[in-house]
Amino acid sequence: MTAGTPTGRLRVVVATPLTDTLGALITTLEPRIDLVCEQDLLPPMRFAGDHDGDPGFTRSAPEQARFDALVDSAEALYGIPDTDPAALARTARANPQLRWVHTMAAGGGGQVRAAQLTAEELDRVAFTTSAGPHSGPLAEFALFTVLAGAKSLPRLQAQQAARDWSGRWTMQQIDQMTVLVVGMGNIGRGVAARFAALGARVVGVGRHPVTVAGVAEIVPPARLGDVVGHADAIVNTLPGTDSTYRMISRDVLAQVKPGVIVSSVGRGSVIDEDALIEALRDGRVAFAGLDVFAVEPLAQDSPLWTMPNVVISPHTAALDDREDRLIAELFAANATRLLDAAPLINRVDTVDFY
Active site residues: 267, 296, 315
With b for 16 or more beta-carbon neighbours within 10 A and e for fewer, the 306-329 pattern comes to ebebbbebebebbebeebbbbbbb
Instruction: With CA atoms as reference, report the closest residue to 76 among 344, 349, 351.
Output: 344
Q: Are 338 and 74 in contact (CB under 8 A)?
A: no
d(C-alpha 162, C-alpha 149), whole Å: 20
